Structure 1
Amino acid sequence: WVSYHDPAAQDTILFNQANGTGPYMLESWTPGEDIVLVRNENYWRAEDDPIWEGGPSGLASIPRVIIKLVNEWGTRLAMLEAGDADWIYVPSQYRPQLEPYYQETYGPDGTLMASNPNGYIQAWRDLPLVAMTPAQFNWNINVEGGNPFVGSGELDGNGVPPDFFSDIHVRKAFNYCFDFDAMIQDALNGEGVQAQGPIIQGMMGYREGEDSLYHFDLDKCTEEFQQAWDGAVWDNGFYLQLAYNTGNDTRRLASEILKAGIESVNPDFNISVVGMPWPVLLNQRRAQKLPIYVGGWQEDFHDPHNWVHPFLHSQGAYGRVINMTEPFASEFDELIQQAASSADPEVRRPIYEEIQLKAQEDAVVIWMYQAVGRQHLQPWIKGFYYNPAYNQASYSFVYALTKEAP
């Protein structure tokens, strides 16, 4: 099992094979361009068997769904304006651009909040997201065979060594050099909160009433850098590449905010922000080549275990590429196991609160932000509903939709 699990995507049987019994079938997939779905005429759900009372049932109303990969924001917007797209993803920083054109604005429960007869967009706002985005350090970077993301691979002003982030002063400095307020106000348009640790706001283990241990403070950032690696970081400078997934402008802005803060304290500090197609980023992350990247987590099930294990356990989805050194790795593994060994919330809560605090104190990563979402559709699309368990890029709601003539 250890040898087989988590194979490269292209090596799996299901990489390019449809597998499911849902209301749509895969007609075609052109990697990097589009996915085309067609209605499953043999779908098993009967007309008198709705998903919930008053919900969709029977065959899907919309016979054909085309999901296009369009990374460039201006192109997506033009498609919406021309009526060529029924739904588009709108990053936080671009939402004010569309607000004057909202025809109908709905809250998370479907209540109409505002209407504008001169608008042309159906908007759903204040949608709570069970997602959080950090900037993730790699404490033991893989440089086997060469690694351009770390430059020279040495602390000589032209790179960083593989264990660069194993020094807690480096990690704390990066945290203090990140302008959390600018991130939330400028990149998220005020629609989000600073993350406190791996556990999101509103969940057991979140330390209610407490602020994050870190805030934007260039003086403290400087102090930490001057202590890092016995002063060698400050004296020699460094270079590394910071990655994010292409098309996610919110993460691009987060990366640029971090770059600006760090480079402002020492002219010998240099960071290159690098956008990568999502599959490329995943492959480089899996190979443990990336020294630092901005990427989020969307919960699989609503429990704090599904937050602390992915980020902090040595075998977690992100934990195994964060590569924490000892004793940090074993300490987190033990706490996570303790919390998972009980079904009693009163036993689990203090353990998760301890994990949450320790994840900040150890500056495992930069716990950046937890955002609030919106959805933007054409007014002729009816039946949209919001389920926070679906992420922003989920198309699970399509089954419930109907499409009227424009």
Structure 2
Amino acid sequence: MHHAFAPALLAGLLLGSPALAASSKDTLVIQASADVPTLDPAIAYDTTSLGLIAQMYDTLLTYQGTSLSRLKPMLATRWAATDGGRRFTFTLRPNVKFHSGAPFTCADAEYTFRRNLVTNSSESSNWFLAESLLGTSRNANDDKTITWARIQKAVQCTNGQLVFTLPKADPAFLSKLVYTGQVIVNRAYSASIGEWDGTEKTWKAWVGKLTPGSALSRKPNGTGPYQLVRADATTHLFTAFSGYWGNPPAIKQVLRQRVAEPATRQQAFLRGDADLIEGSGRAADEAQMRGRPGVGWTDGLPSTQAWAILMNQQIKPGALGSGKLDGKGVPPDFFKDAALRQAFTAAFNYGQYIRDQLKGQGFQRTMLLPETFPGYDPSAPKATYDPKRATELFRKAWGGKVWTSGFTLTAHYRAGSAAQQTALEVLKSSIESINPKFRINVQPKPWSDLLSSDNRGREPLVMMGWSPDYADADNFVYTFYHSKGYYGDWLNWNDATADRLIDQARSTVTPAQRNGLYRQLARRAYTQAPFILIPAEREYRFYRSEVTGWVFNPVLPVAWKDLVKR
């Protein structure tokens, strides 16, 4: 998934709208480079779209402040889990209105989640909702066991309360409902503009058929604090919704503009014509923005991304060189040897990467899970840069053959990614200094090509990352460490102990038990070393200093309704 934030452009728009002066206290101006793919919550799966949807709609519940574990009500006032975590009952907030003026009812919530299950596709985030409610991430076209009766049973209104029935316990279920893509839409309105009508008669025609340019994307209708007034290819104008159920926002208008050129965004921001812009990376932003008059800067924020150099344990033909341990290539199962993987992790200079790439604003993690997520174990051992130990392990690997024969392999990085290039060059430099027979060729590759060859198992060594879909450890742990996970599958990494621990954690609803299983997993992964864990960056944000009220939750878009402009 996932980011993106005017004044020749701004000035032209303001001629017809004198109330939108950028200096106005009740107007927020945002500039970003990305277009907006969709405003339909059921298909949005990128940070740009979700960042705007979050302002117009509400989820059933959300997180308190910056926490990823303390939940607070939104459209639900309370909820309860019963039947061993297989049944969730939500009491819904009364006296809530949609932007159209229609009252919010349980039927709208029921329709929303059924619509998400029906239209679920690989382009949307609803695969993980379907996984919880139907036991499969697929839709009815791809999984013939999905019937209308199963969708009805999964989510229904009972005596005005919304009830979810899961085929088995899912400890991540509430985290999934916080995700912006699960905001509530209005049933009657959606049907009136040509969306699915919510009935059994028509559901089959809508399976996997939703497109980003849907009618609901063009004409959104939520219960949130802001409503869309108008939009074109470069601008979206929002106004505060006078019928909003919560505290009225202090900022009455928000203008989101697409401005491709970084220099144009920077000039608008420094003049005060834009309040929030998309940055250009830490080095450039610190040099151009930090400490300038009128610029607020928040640093040391938690990173929710996890990055690693992946070591493929069954490399497909195409990147093997000679395909043998003869110094001119590597055999397909080169990284099957645990001592070799441990040698690579001990040969990576973590401190140098933090200095060179992260400008000192980084730290090492013990596992591929953000430290803000429940389940992260700060006490687990972590790899350290130790050339002496790496030498000993290289001498041991493959019964001594690696040391005597040497190897040559090619490591690709995404063309244009300074972080990936730096990481691989740090590794190359250290490993080649240990033994002159060791060769790593670091080369750029277009992103689509790299993704394709990695997916087909042709990359021996590649740096990849993950951003969360929802704030639960499983979203990272399964992805990286399970043999059927997104990266585990690519790597041909198959460890029965890791799989068993993850499978147990997936069906355990007691937090202490889950965390205990993740502690065991962290230690198992340390000894098996399937990855080189890349140090995490301390995140930062900058904005006009006259705007206050920022709450930076690690997985949620900033809520405009919290902001005040002095």
TM-score (norm. length: structure 2) = 0.54
Within-5 A mapping of 1:204-223: 204-212=374-382, 214-223=383-392
Give, as a single letter, the amino acid of the residue that structure 2 aligns with 1:166.
Answer: K
Are residue 97 (structure 1) and residue 276 (structure 2) matched?
no
Within-5 A mapping of 1:356-395: 356-377=522-543, 386-390=552-556
Give me the whole-angstrom Cα distance separating, in 1, the residues matched to 2:257 and 2:446.
23
Give me the whole-angstrom Cα distance separating, in 2, the residues matched to 1:151 and 1:26.
57
Partner of 2:137: none
The percentage of counterpart residues that share the same residue type is: 27
Displacement of 1:308 after TM fit? 1.1
Task: Specify whether residues 79 and 155 from structure 1 end up closer, same or farther in structure 2 by C-alpha distance, changes over 3 A only.
Answer: farther
Within-5 A mapping of 1:126-141: 126-141=300-315
Displacement of 1:87 after TM fit? 2.6
Give me the whole-angstrom Cα distance separating, in 1, the residues matched to 2:524 and 2:348.
19
Are residue 61 (structure 1) and residue 254 (structure 2) matched?
yes
Between 160-169 and 275-284, the greater mean CA deviation after superposition: 275-284
Task: Specify whether residues 251 and 54 from structure 1 end up closer, same or farther in structure 2 by C-alpha distance, changes over 3 A only.
Answer: farther
- The answer to whether the 8 Å contact 1:56/1:399 transfers is no
Give, as a single letter, the amino acid of the residue that structure 2 aligns with 1:65.
Answer: Q
Displacement of 1:188 after TM fit? 1.5
Partner of 1:108: none
Give me the whole-angstrom Cα distance separating, in 2, the residues matched to 1:260 and 1:120.
42
Are residue 345 (structure 1) and residue 538 (structure 2) matched?
no
- The answer to whether the 8 Å contact 2:294/2:546 transfers is no
Structure 2 alignment gaps of length 5 or more: 1-120, 124-207, 222-226
Partner of 1:393: none
Displacement of 1:160 after TM fit? 1.7
The alignment of Structure 1 onto Structure 2 pairs a total of residues equal to 349
The structure with the largest alpha-carbon Rg is 2
Within-5 A mapping of 1:43-62: 46-49=241-244, 53=247, 55=249, 61-62=254-255
Within-5 A mapping of 1:111-150: 119=293, 121-143=295-317, 147=318, 149-150=319-320
Give me the whole-angstrom Cα distance separating, in 2, the residues matched to 1:26 and 1:293.
44
Within-5 A mapping of 1:75-94: 76=262, 78-79=263-264, 81-83=266-268, 87-94=277-284
Q: Deviations over 1:92-117 (max 9, x none)?
A: 45555346x423xxxxxxxxxxxxxx
- The answer to whether the 8 Å contact 1:88/1:377 transfers is no
Give, as a single letter, the amino acid of the residue that structure 1 aligns with 2:521.
Answer: I
Give me the whole-angstrom Cα distance separating, in 2, the residues matched to 1:66 and 1:398.
19
Q: Deviations over 1:173-201 (max 9, x none)?
A: 11010011222233222222202112332
Within-5 A mapping of 1:151-162: 151-162=321-332
Q: Which has the higher contact order (CA 8 A, sep 6+)?
A: 1
TM-score (norm. length: structure 1) = 0.73
Displacement of 1:352 after TM fit? 1.0
Are residue 334 (structure 1) and residue 519 (structure 2) matched?
no
Displacement of 1:353 after TM fit? 0.5
Between 130-139 and 353-362, the greater mean CA deviation after superposition: 130-139
- The answer to whether the 8 Å contact 2:259/2:265 transfers is no
Displacement of 1:216 after TM fit? 0.7
Structure 1 alignment gaps of length 5 or more: 29-35, 71-75, 104-118, 391-395
Task: Specify whether residues 244 and 399 from structure 1 end up closer, same or farther in structure 2 by C-alpha distance, changes over 3 A only.
Answer: farther
SS for the counterpart of 1:360 is helix
Give, as a single letter, the amino acid of the residue that structure 2 aligns with 1:333.
Answer: D
Give me the whole-angstrom Cα distance separating, in 1, the residues matched to 2:329 and 2:211.
36
Q: Deviations over 1:251-303 (max 9, x none)?
A: 32222211111111112222122333433322222222211111211122222
